[in-house]
Amino acid sequence: MKVIIAGHYITQFGELWSKSLIDLMREAIKGAIEDSGLTETDIEAVFVSNMGSGQNDNQLHLGALASQMISGYPAASRTEGACASGGLAMIAAEQALLSNQYQTVLVVGVEKMNDADSSLTTKYLAAAANYTTESGSTFPGLYAILANAHIKKFGTTRSQLSAVAKKNHHHGFDNSQAQYHKQLTIEQISNSSLVADPLRLLDCSPITDGAAAVVLTTKQLKEQKRKRASIIGRGHGQDSLDLANRRSLIELDATTKAAKQAYQMAGLTSGDIEVAEVHDCFTIAEILAIEDLGFFKKGEGGKATEEGQTTYGGKVVINPSGGLKASGHPVGATGVKQIAYLAKLLEEKKFTRALAHNVGGSGATAIVHILSS
Amino acid sequence: MKVIIAGHYITQFGELWSKSLIDLMREAIKGAIEDSGLTETDIEAVFVSNMGSGQNDNQLHLGALASQMISGYPAASRTEGACASGGLAMIAAEQALLSNQYQTVLVVGVEKMNDADSSLTTKYLAAAANYTTESGSTFPGLYAILANAHIKKFGTTRSQLSAVAKKNHHHGFDNSQAQYHKQLTIEQISNSSLVADPLRLLDCSPITDGAAAVVLTTKQLKEQKRKRASIIGRGHGQDSLDLANRRSLIELDATTKAAKQAYQMAGLTSGDIEVAEVHDCFTIAEILAIEDLGFFKKGEGGKATEEGQTTYGGKVVINPSGGLKASGHPVGATGVKQIAYLAKLLEEKKFTRALAHNVGGSGATAIVHILSS
């Protein structure tokens, strides 16, 4: 049974001081339903992705809040898995469809991060790690460990890390909804202030407010003017939360597991993918991702990026939206936005095969989706 | 396709000062797998139910934490829907099975509430309501509104409310894992201190630490010594978070919707149910539940309770575990514990048809499951 992306919508990403969690969620829900050409009463269930509204807004039960924005109070729930919440909510929605419980559902991801002071935000992002062993680390600190392992093993360079950020800011420049529209030079990135050696400020994705939604259906849609994208592969990999228990620090096993499942289900290999939104919470995360997803050999992701293989004209276009780095990373929205953004590119006939890759924590959870035009 | 409850486990419920969130989760996971006779590597996915670990423990990403307690890192996610988190995680797990993604999964519900001070707990329970309109209300305040509406319309009495608590403390007396083993008189309950008129302290479910887990499978199990229970009906109803927007204050539409779906799927009526665990977060909630589930006519739930129709020898045994009232209400665990407790009773051949009813917020979300021996 095919899951069709009937509609999609992404709000502006950024520091949205005049918009609340509820404003963003409502805008994305209404936008995706309108884009689908369906009506609110066609939506049988709503799946909400969010990480931190409990801590940030003292608001839980977001499923019920989303449900009351849609006529007829569809069945609702919220899925959380740190920064992979969006991918997990997508999986939950797809399984609900494939179980024949529903024929049309909506997934909305939302995060309102800028109302909290930065100490709270830092604290709540750390809630994605394991409090028994890693509570002293910040997220940049964990990814710095992964970066150092990669540098030591493969000689990945400062310029290669910067090339990831430069390329994503270049891509984001053309995405009107991206948080940043600023092109950066390698020098600016390489000389930005140190956060967790070797990661610098411009290696890191920002704190972002935003929401994204998709309408998924297994029904044949009447209106055929537009060729909608379908989900043809999905995978879900899991690994230890604690870096200390990982098999490897130069590879995210959760990603390789998820990718293998998704390629197998789609009947494709990495070579068939033309475009991908990958989880570049830090520049090193994109290098790991493009290797672990099979686009480049292990250890060659930095070099490939520097050589232009991950932008238009190269082997595979990585993060055309600007990725988490330039488009922004409203945590619960990210995994849904990746799918929404790719669905739009496929509908515009810019590509025919796309991949979305969403990671939670420092690699404990990974979700891969493959989309086809 | 039939979903079989292959294994189940409930931890002690109570003020468990020496146990952490992780201790409780691990005990329930290991216990349910052991009870199932399966091995850890049979578990393909784990679904975690929890409401407040973000606020209480600054710990999110509980799916990944649960996954690393099970060999082979099964796919994991967390579902949240306030006090209905457990029922929602069950639904997510069942849909994953019915979509043919997995054949054997584990659902674990956990809540560690007693480490937080009571002002934080009060605040985080309020996170289940809508912060735009109800942030001034506490949970007892919202249920007091429902109680007053029922009293006004049907003449439900103080003694009838107390009869619910008395009966549940009587049932809980025989449940060794219940939080309270204290029998109460009508007078003690009716004279306990006022919390939100007409609800008194002994009308309210307590703050509880605890966990519960079930192993669900669609596979035929080899070991046939024990006749395991199956899930034969499920329903999911949704309504406005805000009482002001409800159609009725004397009936929870979310419950009636969920019940209708569950009965229809099971091919049963309320008259076929012999035993039920219902969501008695307050005494009035049990009276609403037994009416909305169709066991008694609207307005007659209090009278039926007073007449002994909801205990052994009556029409239907309601809350044999002691319910939320006496067994305790570790929020994320409750919906899973209801299923685990009923599965045990069915295996013991005490009953053949059972119903579980789990509510989120003041009735915005309701989940009903029907189990058969």
Q: What is the pLDDT of residues A228-255, one digit of tens each?
A: 999 999 999 999 998 989 999 999 999 9
Domain boundary among A164, A190, A217: A217
Domain boundary among B165, B184, B217: B217
B167 and B261 together in one domain: yes
* CA dihedral sign, ordered A158, A278, A325, A239: negative
B167 and B253 together in one domain: yes
What confidence tens digit (pLDDT) does each residue in B24-63 have?
999 999 999 999 999 999 999 999 999 999 888 888 999 9
How big is the CA angle at B95 (ends A7 and A333), to the nearest 5 degrees? 40
**Residue A64 to residue B242, Cβ atoms within 8 A:** no
Percent of chain A with pLDDT over 90: 89
Pairing of β B365-372 and β B353-360: antiparallel
Residue A329 annotated to the active site: yes
Question: In chain A, whose CA is at the least distance from the CA of B59?
Answer: A127
**Residue A82 to residue B100, Cβ atoms within 8 A:** no
| Nearest-neighbour CA in chain B from A348: distance (Å) | 31
**Residue A51 to residue B74, Cβ atoms within 8 A:** no
Res A119: pLDDT: 79
* CA dihedral sign, ordered B33, B39, B42, B44: positive
Q: Which of A47-56, A302-311, B205-214, B285-294 is predicted least confidently?
A: A47-56
Euclidean distance between the first and the last CA atom of chain A, given in angstroms as a whole number: 16
Joined together, the tokens standing for residue A170 give 């270049």
Q: Which residues contact A3 (CB under 8 A, 6 or more apart)?
A: A94, A97, A98, A216, A217, A218, A230, A231
Of the candidates B288, B313, B316, the residue with the CA atom closest to the CA atom of residue B302? B288
Task: At B137, give phi and psi (nearest 5°).
Answer: -95, 145
User: Is the predicted pLDDT of residue B3 greater than 80, yes or no?
Assistant: yes
Residue B168 in any domain: the answer is yes
Q: What mean pLDDT is predicted for residues B103-114?
A: 97
User: Is the predicted pLDDT of residue B126 greater than 80, yes or no?
Assistant: no
Question: In chain A, whose CA is at the least distance from the CA of B127?
Answer: A59
User: Is the predicted pLDDT of residue A42 greater than 80, yes or no?
Assistant: yes
Res A64: pLDDT: 96
Residue B224 in any domain: the answer is no
Local structure of residue B247 (DSSP, 8 states): S
A77 and A158 together in one domain: no
Res A132: pLDDT: 62
Residue A262 in any domain: the answer is yes
Residue B129 in any domain: the answer is no
Which one is catalytic: A169, A171, A279, A329? A329
A244 and A319 together in one domain: yes
CA distances from B44 to A26, A361, B72, B75 (A): 35, 21, 9, 6
Local structure of residue B61 (DSSP, 8 states): -
Joined together, the tokens standing for residue A61 give 């039960």
- A-facing residues of B in 192-211 (CB < 8 A) are none
Residue B132 in any domain: the answer is no
B180 and B287 together in one domain: yes
B213 and B264 together in one domain: no
- Overall number of domains in chain B: 2
In chain A, which residues have their Cβ closer than 8 Å to the Cβ of B255? none
Res A131: pLDDT: 66
ipTM for the predicted complex: 0.97
- A-facing residues of B in 76-95 (CB < 8 A) are 76-82, 88, 91-92, 94-95
**Band (B122; pLDDT cuts 50, 70, 90):** confident
User: Is the predicted pLDDT of residue A135 greater than 80, yes or no?
Assistant: no
Residue B351 in any domain: the answer is yes
CB–CB contacts below 8 A, A to B: 189
**Residue B128 to residue A57, Cβ atoms within 8 A:** no
| Nearest-neighbour CA in chain B from A287: distance (Å) | 23
Question: In chain A, whose CA is at the least distance from the CA of B46?
Answer: A238
**Band (B137; pLDDT cuts 50, 70, 90):** confident
Q: Is A138 in CB contact (< 8 Å) with chain B?
A: no
Helix or strand (DSSP H, E) at B98: helix B85-98
Residue B122 in any domain: the answer is no
- B-facing residues of A in 32-51 (CB < 8 A) are 45, 51
Cα separation, B302 vs B283, whole angstroms: 10
Q: Provide the 3-class DSSP secondary structure of residue B54.
A: helix
Residue A61: which of B59, B82, B254 has the nearest Cβ?
A: B82
Res A300: pLDDT: 98
Res B134: pLDDT: 60
Residue A83 annotated to the active site: yes
**Band (A130; pLDDT cuts 50, 70, 90):** confident
Percent of chain A with pLDDT over 70: 98
Q: What mean pLDDT is predicted for residues A302-315?
A: 98
Q: What mean pLDDT is predicted for residues B334-350?
A: 97
Q: Is B61 in CB contact (< 8 Å) with chain A?
A: yes
| Nearest-neighbour CA in chain B from A259: distance (Å) | 13
CATH number at residue A102: 3.40.47.10
Res B118: pLDDT: 78
What confidence tens digit (pLDDT) does each residue in B53-100 have?
988 888 899 999 999 999 999 999 999 999 999 999 999 999 999 999
**Band (A128; pLDDT cuts 50, 70, 90):** confident
Joined together, the tokens standing for residue B166 give 């008395």
DSSP labels, B282-331: BHHHHHHHHHHTTSS-TT-HHHHHHTTTTSTTSSSEE-TT-HHHHH---H
Question: In chain A, whose CA is at the least distance from the CA of B83?
Answer: A61
Res A118: pLDDT: 78
**Band (A133; pLDDT cuts 50, 70, 90):** low
Question: In chain A, whose CA is at the least distance from the CA of B89?
Answer: A77
User: Is the predicted pLDDT of residue A136 greater than 90, yes or no?
Assistant: no
User: Is the predicted pLDDT of residue A134 greater than 70, yes or no?
Assistant: no
In chain A, which residues have their Cβ closer than 8 Å to the Cβ of B369? none
Helix or strand (DSSP H, E) at A296: none
Q: Is B157 in CB contact (< 8 Å) with chain A?
A: no
Residue B131: which of A57, A63, A95 has the nearest Cβ?
A: A57
Determine the structural domain holding residue B194 and report its residue range: 137-205+230-372
**Band (B333; pLDDT cuts 50, 70, 90):** very high
What confidence tens digit (pLDDT) does each residue in A166-205 have?
999 999 999 999 999 999 999 999 999 999 999 999 999 9
Res A311: pLDDT: 98
In chain B, which residues have their Cβ closer than 8 Å to the Cβ of A95? 92, 95-96, 99, 101
Res B12: pLDDT: 98
Interface test with B, best of A77, A139, A260, A358 (most B CBs within 10 A): A77
A89 and A169 together in one domain: no
Domain boundary among A191, A217, A243: A217
The whole-model pTM stands at 0.97
Question: In chain B, whose CA is at the least distance from the CA of A253?
Answer: B73
**Residue B95 to residue A80, Cβ atoms within 8 A:** no
Per this entry, what is the length of chain A? 373
Residue B64: which of A59, A97, A364 has the nearest Cβ?
A: A364
Res B223: pLDDT: 67
Question: In chain B, whose CA is at the least distance from the CA of A365?
Answer: B64
In chain B, which residues have their Cβ closer than 8 Å to the Cβ of A129? 61
Res A337: pLDDT: 98
Per this entry, what is the length of chain B? 373
What confidence tens digit (pLDDT) does each residue in B231-269 have?
999 999 999 998 989 999 999 999 999 999 999 999 999
Asked if residue B198 has a cis previous peptide bond (ω within 30° of 0), the answer is yes
B212 and B247 together in one domain: no
**Residue B124 to residue A54, Cβ atoms within 8 A:** yes
Residue A54: which of B55, B236, B242 has the nearest Cβ?
A: B55
Which one is catalytic: B8, B83, B281, B369? B83
Q: Which of A30-39, A332-341, B219-228 is predicted least confidently?
A: B219-228
Is residue A323 within 8 Å of residue A173, measured between CB atoms?
A: no
User: Is the predicted pLDDT of residue B222 greater than 80, yes or no?
Assistant: no
Percent of chain B with pLDDT over 70: 98
A213 and A263 together in one domain: no
Q: Provide the 3-class DSSP secondary structure of residue A217.
A: strand
B197 and B212 together in one domain: no
B305 and B257 together in one domain: yes
Residue B127 in any domain: the answer is no
A190 and A287 together in one domain: yes
